[in-house]
Structure 1
Amino acid sequence: MKLGLHSLRAYNFFYFSLLSIFISFLPVYLTHRNVSPGEIGMMIGVGSFVGILSQPFWGMVSDRYKTIKRIILLTLGASIAVGMLLFTTMHFSLLFLLVAAMYFFLLPTDPLTESLNYRIAEQRGISFGSIRTFGAVGYATASLYIGWTVDQLGMDRLAWLFLGYGLLAFACALVVADAPASSKALSLQELKQFFLYPKTLRFFLLVLIAATPHRTNDSFLGVFVQSLGGSTGAVGQAWFLAAISEVAFFALSARILQRWSEIKLIGWATALYTIRYLLCALAPSAEWVVYLQLTQGVTFVIFYTATIQYLYRIIPEEWKATGQTVLAVLFFGISGIIGSIAGGWVFQQFGGAALYMAMAAFSLVACIYSLTLSRSLGMKKES
């Protein structure tokens, strides 16, 4: 029993280390290849569109064959091969195709991993955060190490770092236990009713509005830090501080979720997102932006764990993996398209400060909307 949990935690550590290379350093790598902010936004936007199709696809495959582990092995293995090509190609025209391929394989591995974490946590009677914390630690340490390594040895080392973390994640995934499968039969009619239910639609709209500025930050934090004079090492430090701040909040997430309603917590998180992005817009130097990433824990962790718990409470058992991927479509797909394409245009036309001011405004809209949903969704709890 303990060995299985250790394997799952090790897999989370190395998988999210791998993910940090793609999310945190892909824009920096593309900048190194002389790709403009507008073109970066277009590449990530196209990739996010691919993710809209790929994430539900892999989620439904997982539900259909009642396995999460084997699908993870398939998508992760393909991601390692594509990633090596992406970080070694010298042809600009191939970058679009390879980024899109990464969104087809690597990004759907994220919701599958979260579904695996959540289901095994339920089965073992432990908190989701006690497993996911190791992913945050992996993301944090990898961000710091990769930023330092690239600063010292050059951008060409990124491909080999990706390969190393990828192989370690794959090896750990091989010995992870599969998630317990639902014994209930799949029903497309039930799924259709669920997604057309007004409560579900209002909740997903809230997630979309709140996630858009977060995904914009994912795409342009590194470019913004460098535009203020920061080095690649400073980008790594920013992502390290963001990820390490998640560790404490993942550890506390179970207690926080027991005490307050999910929608109320999302409202608090979006209010703090507003303050965070506003301060980034007003930051006088790259160093300020780097240290402001310490607020990632209280914003992202509270927002993300609250959305997952609410979704798992209202979705039918047999569609949980699919529901998780739909959430990921909003978080990594649609919001990613809006944030990357519009964000790239704003960055190129008006600069990074204007972009972060717009992100603060978007987060404020999400905060106000969450307050209107708190009563209509009937989610109030006594604090």
Structure 2
Amino acid sequence: MKLGIQNLRAYNFFYFSLLSIFISFLPVYLTFRGVSPGEIGMMVGFGSFVGILSQPFWGMVSDKYKTIKRVILLTLGASIAVGMFLFTMDHFSLLFLLVGAMYFFLLPTDPLTESLNYRKAQEHQISFGSIRTFGAIGYATASLIIGWTVDQLGMDRLAWLFLGYGLLAFVFILVVSDAPASSKKLSKQELKQFFFYPKTLQFFLLVLIAATPHRTNDSFLGVFVLSLGGSTGAVGQAWFLAAISEVAFFALSARILQKWSEIKLITLATALYTIRYVLCALAPSAEWVVYLQFTQGVTFVIFYTATIQYLYRIIPEEWKATGQTVLAVLFFGISGIIGSIAGGWVFQQFGGGTLYMAMAAFSLIACGYSMTLWKSQSTGVVKP
């Protein structure tokens, strides 16, 4: 039993290391290949759209065949193959298609991995965090190692780093035992009712507004650091600091949520997001932007954990699975499309400083809207 959990932790470490290459360094790689910020925005926006479709697709495949592990093996194996082509390619059209393919295979592996982690934690009666923390550590260390390696040896080494982390993740998931997948289906009528509740509509609008600048930062942080004269190593350091701060605040999040109401924490997080992006916009050098990423924990972690708990508080039990899916689509899908396409255009036309000021304005709007909900809404569960 202990060996099985250790293998799962090792898989988490290497899978999230692999994910860090794609999320953190794809925009840097595309810049190296001569792709403009506007074109990067189009690519990532297209990929986010593909992700909206692919995540429920692979979830349904997992449910149909009652397996999580075998679907992960399929999506992860395909991701490794596609990634090797992606990080050796320089033709724009092929890059565009390969980015879409990565969003089809690699990104849906994330929720499948989280599902496997959760079920294994329940099976072995251990905390989910004791497994998932290894993923956060992997993401952090890989960001630092990859940035330094590419700085010293060149961008062409990125493909081999991707292959190495990918194969290690594949080997460890291969020896992890499977867990049955399950899902709770709602009828179309129930789903329609769910979306007509004012509380859920207001909440999802808040998430969309607040998540859009966050996802914009995901797409353009590396490009912004490079535009200020920073190196690829500096990009890796920025993501390392962001991931390390997430580990710390995930550990503290349960205590924080016990002391503060969710809507108050959401308001606080969006206010801090505003300050963070203003400081990035005004940063005199790349080094300032790098160190400001240490605020990722207090902004993203507090916001995301509070939104999940708030969602569970305002909707009935039978709709929680659907609510979680919609939250993921908004946070990682639709906001990614808006942030990437619009952010790429603003960056190309007006520069990174203007983009970060626009992101701060979005966060300020989210903060004001959150304060409005704080005053107007109770935290009771809506009645079906």
On whether the aligned pair clears a TM of 0.5, the verdict is yes
Q: Hey, what does 2:89 align to over in structure 1?
A: 89
Q: Is the CA contact (8 Å cut-off) linking 1:48 and 1:103 kept in structure 2?
A: yes
The answer to whether the aligner puts 1:172 opposite 2:172 as a matched pair is: yes
The answer to whether the aligner puts 1:307 opposite 2:307 as a matched pair is: yes
**Deviation (angstroms), 1:127:** 4.2
Q: Hey, what does 1:133 align to over in structure 2?
A: 133
Q: Which moved more, 1:143-152 or 1:332-341?
A: 332-341
The answer to whether the aligner puts 1:267 opposite 2:273 as a matched pair is: no
**Deviation (angstroms), 1:188:** 4.5
In structure 2, give the amino acid aligned to 1:272.
Answer: L
Q: Is the CA contact (8 Å cut-off) linking 2:264 and 2:374 kept in structure 1?
A: yes
Q: Hey, what does 1:214 align to over in structure 2?
A: 214
Q: Hey, what does 1:282 align to over in structure 2?
A: 282
**Deviation (angstroms), 1:195:** 3.7
User: For 1:26-45, what per-residue CA distance to the aligned partner results, in whole angstroms no more than 9, with x for missing partners?
Assistant: 00000000111111111111
Q: Which moved more, 1:176-185 or 1:220-229?
A: 176-185
1: CA distance, partners of 2:261 / 2:181: 28
In structure 1, give the amino acid aligned to 2:171.
Answer: A
Q: Hey, what does 1:338 align to over in structure 2?
A: 338
Q: Which moved more, 1:278-287 or 1:46-55?
A: 46-55
Q: Is the CA contact (8 Å cut-off) linking 1:55 and 1:326 kept in structure 2?
A: no
**Deviation (angstroms), 1:272:** 1.1
Q: Is the CA contact (8 Å cut-off) linking 1:55 and 1:328 kept in structure 2?
A: no
Q: Is the CA contact (8 Å cut-off) linking 1:128 and 1:254 kept in structure 2?
A: no
> Alpha carbons of 1:315 and 1:351: their partners in 2 closer, same or farther (altered >3 Å)?
farther
**Deviation (angstroms), 1:181:** 4.7
Q: Hey, what does 1:32 align to over in structure 2?
A: 32
Q: Hey, what does 1:41 align to over in structure 2?
A: 41
User: For 1:328-366, what per-residue CA distance to the aligned partner results, in whole angstroms no more than 9, with x for missing partners?
Assistant: 221221111111111111111111111001111111111
2: CA distance, partners of 1:57 / 1:156: 33
2: CA distance, partners of 1:7 / 1:192: 42
**Deviation (angstroms), 1:92:** 2.1
**Consecutive unaligned residues in structure 1, runs of 5 or more:** none
Q: Hey, what does 2:17 align to over in structure 1?
A: 17
In structure 1, give the amino acid aligned to 2:273.
Answer: Y
User: For 1:104-145, what per-residue CA distance to the aligned partner results, in whole angstroms no more than 9, with x for missing partners?
Assistant: 111122223233334444555554433322221111100000
Q: Is the CA contact (8 Å cut-off) linking 1:111 and 1:324 kept in structure 2?
A: no
2: CA distance, partners of 1:311 / 1:173: 31
Q: Is the CA contact (8 Å cut-off) linking 2:63 and 2:183 kept in structure 1?
A: no
In structure 2, give the amino acid aligned to 1:171.
Answer: V
User: For 1:250-301, what per-residue CA distance to the aligned partner results, in whole angstroms no more than 9, with x for missing partners?
Assistant: 1222222333333332222111111111100110000000000110111111
Q: Hey, what does 2:246 align to over in structure 1?
A: 246
Count of residues in Structure 1 that have an aligned counterpart in Structure 2: 379
> Alpha carbons of 1:236 and 1:57: their partners in 2 closer, same or farther (altered >3 Å)?
same
**Deviation (angstroms), 1:13:** 1.4
The answer to whether the aligner puts 1:359 opposite 2:373 as a matched pair is: no
Q: Is the CA contact (8 Å cut-off) linking 1:140 and 1:243 kept in structure 2?
A: yes
- If the length of structure 1 is used for normalisation, what is the TM-score? 0.91
1: CA distance, partners of 2:123 / 2:309: 15
Q: Is the CA contact (8 Å cut-off) linking 1:12 and 1:132 kept in structure 2?
A: yes
The answer to whether the aligner puts 1:199 opposite 2:196 as a matched pair is: no
Secondary structure of the structure 2 residue equivalent to 1:206: helix
In structure 1, give the amino acid aligned to 2:250.
Answer: F
Q: Hey, what does 1:79 align to over in structure 2?
A: 79
> Alpha carbons of 1:81 and 1:315: their partners in 2 closer, same or farther (altered >3 Å)?
farther
> Alpha carbons of 1:352 and 1:221: their partners in 2 closer, same or farther (altered >3 Å)?
same
